[in-house]
Amino acid sequence: SVRLGYVFVDFMVKESGGESVYPELLQPGTVKGNQNEARYYYGVYVHNRLITQTSEYVFPIYLDKTKLKGPYTFYNWRDLSELFYKADESKTVTIVRVHRLWLETITLFSYIFGVQMLLIIVVLLYRAYLSYFTKPKFTGRLINLTLRRRIHYSLLGVVLISFLIIGLVTIVYSTYQYQQSNRKKLQLVMQLVERTAQQYLKDRGAMDNNETFEKEISSTEFKYFITSLANAQKIDINVFNATGILKVTSQENIYDKALLARIMQSDAYYMLALINRSIHIQEEQVGRLSYLSCYVPIWSYNGRVLGFLNIPYFSSEKELSFQISNILVALINLYAFIFLLSSLLTVFITQWLTRTLSVVINRFERLSLTKNELIDWPYEDEIGMLVKEYNKMVRKVEENAAMLARNEREGAWREMAQQVAHEIKNPLTPMKLNIQYLQQALRNDYPNVKELAAKVAESLIEQIDNLSYIASEFSNFAKMPEAVPEEIELNDVLGRTVELYLNEQDVKVTIEPFADPLYVYADRSQLLRVFTNLIENAVQAIPDGRAGKVSVVLTKDEGQVLLSFIDNGVGISADVVDKIFQPYFTTKTSGTGLGLAMTKKIIEFWKGTIWFETEEGKGTTFYIRMPLFRRS
């Protein structure tokens, strides 16, 4: 065999780093997933000397061998963690992760806070949903909130909505700026590649006509030049001839896999070859992955198009996502702080805004018919208008109350005068008749005039006693004697009252006392009057011919005393039930009709209530409920 010469094969490695033009879909398996993550940095040492590193972290030039304790050595410092991996006797890989504990803590808090806010919003929406679909009749209000809550939530809602709007606008604007930056970067790189390629072709006389151009770009030297230029700029370069057929590419892998056709995009060819544009940038796709592609024509000396340069720029989606996530983290941290600060401020703002309303509400709660305090508000605003109307209403209420009281007093006196006149007129008539009869007897010298005078005198004394009784009843009702409150044991008082009726012939009065002492705080004489009146009415309600029974029952109910006065009398007819406690109303042939009215007045004075249940023909039960007095 004869040695004819030597063949040298020069292998060049195209580095695949963080700025690789490979899209993530097309990267080889050995490269995919090894991109430098945030805050992770690595350096490679050979013979304890730094050979290569990633990112901006400053690694020492020489490795400290004392740190190596085995194949894997891990150190966790305050601000960073270090992992040393001894690949072989000469090579060591160092991985460093920088800790930002304060930022991570704030970010974690912000995310937790954001999740809590989302949960609160979901709960509020769920409550609104339940209010809308579960209420039998929708009132138009999904959630009932006070004015203070509505102001509070409105202010917080403005902050939250502004955060969402600013975040959305920031993301859209950042994406737009990123895309514009990529376009500008692509244009600058294309200008550099265009000048370098044209200079190379000029030096080799390949720009005279299509034949010399086709011959040159098909040469191995040109392919080597394009690959070297692409590696130096960390881009991909495609060269098409005048008809749009791909002749040279720095990335054969994409075309070998038939992911892209070896022809120029028709839109770009139309814009450059037919419209004669000097540069054209458009979006293209490989599957679902979009990328920018820049085209420029290569002109001959006489102005004819020889071919086209193309640079596809695969902007990393990870880089854009990382930038957006950084922006969102910063916004979330900032707005979490602003939201908390706003929550505190809105509490003070709502309290300040509703303070006067609270004063008005408090005054409304204490509003009486007389002696109301006016509200002073120095500002002429909406609250000032409300305060002004409140003060006007208070004056009007007091004027109307005074007028109503005057009218009621006049009406009461008229009614009282009519009732007194009626009650006095009744005994006066027989008194007048008796005196007239006595006068006639005296004029005519009746023989029994002395006996007749004694009988008339007895009748007059009886009628005068009746007038005295009527006057006392009206006086007692008009003005009750001054009360002397004390602790009263009801079992004892009721027992003494019932003892007064033990000698009744036709009615049996009994009492069922409570097992334990029951105390109330009231006036003893007034309660005796009430109990006597109710038992007396019960006894008088028993019709003739019926074995009367009156029972007095004393029990305790939810911290209160309950007294029941039960009779088996005639009951109360339905047409007079509503009038029982009215003054001057009575169902008896005698009396003033003030007994039950006075009874109700006494019970309500001591914070109690009185009512009754009746069944016509079978009997009536009167109930009294009074607060139980707890002895200290």
β-pairing, 49-53 vs 305-313, is unpaired
How many other C-beta atoms can be found within 10 angstroms of the C-beta atom of residue 420? 14
Higher pLDDT, 315 or 554: 554
Per-residue confidence (pLDDT) for residue 20, from 0 to 100: 44
Query: Is residue 504 exposed (0-12), middle (13-18) or buried (19+ Cβ within 10 Å)?
Result: middle
CA neighbor of 224 nearest in space, from 533, 496, 11: 11
Q: What are phi and psi of 582, to 5 degrees?
A: -80, 140
Average pLDDT, the chain: 79
How many other C-beta atoms can be found within 10 angstroms of the C-beta atom of residue 341? 11
Q: Which of 11-20, 363-372, 398-407 has the lowest mean pLDDT?
A: 11-20
Contact 300, 208 (CB under 8 A): yes
Higher pLDDT, 123 or 38: 123
How many helical (H) and strand (E) elements, i.e. helices and strands, does the chain have? 12, 17
24 pLDDT band, cuts 50/70/90, is low
CATH for the stretch 174-320: 3.30.450.20
pLDDT digits (tens, 9 = 90+) for 524-577: 888 888 888 888 888 888 888 888 899 999 999 888 999 999 999 988 888 878
From residue 243, give the alpha-carbon distance in Å to each of 239, 264, 293, 303, 580: 11, 9, 18, 16, 115
Per-residue confidence (pLDDT) for residue 341, from 0 to 100: 81
Which of 153-162, 248-257, 579-588 has the largest mean confidence? 248-257
CA 242 – CA 211 distance, rounded (Å): 11
Average pLDDT over residues 337-363: 75
Residue 211 has pLDDT above 60, yes or no: yes
Per-residue confidence (pLDDT) for residue 264, from 0 to 100: 93
Per-residue confidence (pLDDT) for residue 555, from 0 to 100: 93
Residue 25 has pLDDT above 70, yes or no: no
Percent of the chain's residues with pLDDT above 70: 78
Task: Give the orientation angle of helix 147-203 with respect to helix 220-233, to 10 degrees.
Answer: 150
CA neighbor of 229 nearest in space, from 203, 195, 259: 195
Residue 588 has pLDDT above 60, yes or no: no
pLDDT digits (tens, 9 = 90+) for 101-139: 666 666 677 677 777 778 877 887 787 777 666 655 545
How many other C-beta atoms can be found within 10 angstroms of the C-beta atom of residue 520? 22
Per-residue confidence (pLDDT) for residue 157, from 0 to 100: 80
Q: Which of 345-354, 514-523, 585-594, 603-612 has the lowest mean pLDDT?
A: 585-594
Going by CATH, does the domain composed of 485-627 fall within 3.40.50.280? no
CA 617 – CA 595 distance, rounded (Å): 22
Rg of the chain taking only CA atoms, in angstroms: 54
pLDDT digits (tens, 9 = 90+) for 248-306: 998 888 888 888 889 999 999 999 988 889 999 998 887 777 788 999 999 988 888 99
Residues forming a β-bridge with 615: 619
Q: Which of 188-192, 227-231, 418-422 has the lowest mean pLDDT?
A: 418-422
> Please, what is the Cα angle at 375 between 373 and 379, to 5 degrees?
165
Structure tokens at 131: 């209010």
16 pLDDT band, cuts 50/70/90, is very low
Per-residue confidence (pLDDT) for residue 452, from 0 to 100: 79
430 pLDDT band, cuts 50/70/90, is low
Per-residue confidence (pLDDT) for residue 466, from 0 to 100: 64
Per-residue confidence (pLDDT) for residue 399, from 0 to 100: 80
Higher pLDDT, 141 or 329: 329
Contacts of 120 (CB under 8 A, 6+ apart): none
Write the DSSP string, 166-196: HHHHHHHHHHHHHHHHHHHHHHHHHHHHHHH
Average pLDDT over residues 388-412: 77
- What are the b/e assignments for 193-226, b being 16+ CB within 10 Å? bbeebbebbeeeebbeeeebbbebbeeeebbebb
- pTM exceeds 0.85: no
From residue 592, give the alpha-carbon distance in Å to each of 474, 477, 578: 8, 10, 18
CA 310 – CA 226 distance, rounded (Å): 11
Contact 506, 541 (CB under 8 A): no
Q: What is the 3-state secondary structure (H, E, C) of 401-435?
A: HHHHHHHHHHHHHHHHHHHHHHHHHHHHHHHHHHH
35 pLDDT band, cuts 50/70/90, is very low
* Token pair 């074995």 in the structure block, residue: 547
Percent of the chain's residues with pLDDT above 90: 19
Q: What are phi and psi of 241, to 5 degrees?
A: -80, -175
